[in-house]
A and B are shown apart, each in its own frame.
Chain A
Amino acid sequence: MSDPILDPVRFVDERTAAAPLLKKSLRYLFPDHWSFLLGEIALYSFIVLIATGVYLALFFEPSVAQTVYHGPYAPLRGREMSDAYKSVVELSLTYKAGLLIRQTHHWAADVFVASIVLHLMRVFFTGAYRKPRELTWLIGLVLLFTSLLEGYLGYSLVDDLLSGIGLAIGYGVLLSVPLVGGPLGVLLFGSAFPGKGVFESRMYIAHVFILPALLALLIGAHLALVMARHHTQFRRDRRHTERRLVGVPMFPGQAPRSLALMFAVAAVLFLLGGLVQINPIWQWGPFEPWLGTNGAQPDWYLGWLIGALRLMPSFDVVVGHITLIPNPFWGGVAFPLVVLLVLGAFPWIERRLTGDRSVHNLLERPREAPNRTAFGVAFLSWIFLVFVFGAADRLYVLYGVSYETLLTIFRVAIWVVPVALFVLVRLLCRELAHAERVEHEREVAEEEAASQETAMAERGEPVI
Chain B
Amino acid sequence: MKLREWLLAAATLAYGKRARARSKGEHDAQASPDAREGPASDARAGDGAAPARIVPPGPPDRRAEHLVVALLALAALFAAGFIVVYAVFSPTEVPNQLLGVCIAGALAFVALALAVFGRRLIVTEEIEEDYPRESPQEQREIAQLVHESASRLTRRRLLVGAASATGGVLGLAGLTPVLSLGPLWDTAPLDASPWHRGRRLVDTHGYPMLASDIEEETFYTAFAEGANPDDIASILVVLRLHPRELHLPAGRQTWAPYGILAYSKICTHAGCAVALYRKPRFPVVEPRPALVCPCHYSTFNPATGASEIFGPAGRPLPQLPLMIDAEGHLRATGDFSGRVGPAWWGVREGST
Which A residues fall within an 8 A CB radius of B?
27, 29, 32, 72, 93-97, 99-100, 103-104, 132, 165, 168-169, 171-173, 175-183, 185-194, 198, 202, 228-230, 239, 242-249, 252-253, 255-257, 259-264, 266-268, 270-275, 288-296, 306, 309-316, 318, 321-328, 331-332, 361, 393, 403-404
Within 8 A of A (CB), among B75-121: 86, 89, 91-92, 94, 96-101, 103-105, 107-108, 110-112, 114-115, 117-118
For the complex of A and B, 10 pairs with smallest distance between CB atoms: A274-B100, A292-B275, A256-B118, A172-B270, A182-B344, A316-B314, A172-B342, A263-B111, A260-B114, A267-B107
Closest to B313 in A: A314
Interface SS majority for chain B: loop
A77, B223: Cα distance in complex, Å? 25
With A186-B186, A310-B311 given, name 10 new contacts (CB 8 A).
A29-B127, A97-B99, A168-B272, A182-B346, A190-B182, A193-B232, A263-B108, A272-B100, A290-B235, A331-B312
Contact check, B313 vs A253: say whether CB atoms are below 8 A apart: no
Chain A residues with Cβ below 8 Å from B99 are 97, 100, 274
- Residues of A near B294 (CB, < 8 A) are 292-296, 393
Shortest A404–chain B CB gap in Å is 7
Chain A residues near B132 (CB, 8 Å)? 228-230
**B interface list, Cβ under 8 A from A:** 30-32, 55, 86, 89, 91-92, 94, 96-101, 103-105, 107-108, 110-112, 114-115, 117-118, 122-132, 134, 179, 181-187, 189-190, 192, 204, 221, 223, 229-233, 235, 265-267, 269-276, 293-298, 308, 310-315, 341-350
Q: A192-B190, A247-B127 are in contact. Are A267 and B114 (CB under 8 A)?
A: no
Establish whether residues B97 and A247, one from each chain, have CB atoms under 8 Å apart when the complex forms. Answer: no
Are A309 and B312 within 8 A (Cβ)?
A: yes
Q: How far is the CA of A100 from the CA of B190 in the complex (A)?
A: 41
Contact yes or no, A290 B348, CB < 8 A: no
Looking across the interface, which residue of chain A has its beta carbon closest to that of B106?
A267
How far, in angstroms, from A289 to B98 measured CA to CA in the complex?
38
Tell me if B297 and A190 are in contact (CB < 8 A).
Answer: no
Q: Would you give the shortest CB distance from B208 to chain A, in whole angstroms? A: 17
CB of B235 within 8 A of CB of A289, answer: yes
Q: How many A-B residue pairs have CB under 8 A?
A: 301
Q: Which of B107, B108, B276, B345 contacts A181 (CB 8 A)?
A: B345
CA distance A268 to B270 in the complex (A): 37
Determine the distance from Cα of A239 to Cα of B33 in the docked complex, in whole angstroms. Answer: 12
| A324→B345 contact, CB < 8 A | yes
- List the A side residues contacting B91 at CB < 8 Å: 94-96
Q: Which residues of B contact A72 (CB under 8 A)?
A: 92
User: Is the Cβ of A186 less than 8 Å from the Cβ of B187?
Assistant: yes
Closest Cβ of chain A to B242, distance in Å, is 26
B135 to chain A, nearest CB (A): 12
> Are A187 and B184 neighbours in the complex by a CB distance under 8 Å?
yes
- How far in angstroms is the closest Cβ of chain B from A449? 29
| Contact sample, A vs B, 19 pairs, CB 8 Å cutoff | A97-B86, A97-B99, A182-B346, A192-B190, A239-B32, A242-B131, A244-B131, A245-B131, A246-B128, A271-B101, A291-B273, A294-B294, A309-B269, A312-B312, A314-B308, A314-B310, A323-B346, A325-B345, A326-B343
Indicate whether A249 sits within 8 Å of B125 (C-beta atoms), given known contacts A93-B92, A293-B275, A323-B343: yes
Please pick, from B89, B269, B349, the residue contacting A323 in the complex, using a CB distance under 8 A: B349
Q: How far in angstroms is the closest Cβ of chain B from A298? A: 10
| B314 and A314 contacting across the interface, CB-CB below 8 Å | yes
Residues of the B chain whose Cβ atoms lie less than 8 Å from the Cβ of A321: 348-350
* B125 in contact with A253 (CB, 8 Å): yes
Which of A29, A171, A185, A315 is in CB contact (< 8 Å) with B129?
A29
Distance between A49 CB and nearest chain B CB, rounded to angstroms: 15
Quick one: given A175-B342, A314-B312, A316-B343, are A253 and B123 in contact (CB under 8 Å)? yes
Residues of B contacting A331 with CB < 8 Å? 312
Interfacial chain A residues near B179, Cβ < 8 Å: 187
* Chain B residues within 8 Å of A293, by CB: 275, 294
Q: Which of chain A's residues has its CB closest to B298's CB?
A: A314
Closest to A393 in B: B297
**Interchain nearest-CB distance for A269 vs B (Å):** 8
Q: How far, in angstroms, from A168 to B114 measured CA to CA in the complex?
A: 47
- Tell me, in angstroms, the Cα distance from A93 to B127 when the chains sit together: 53
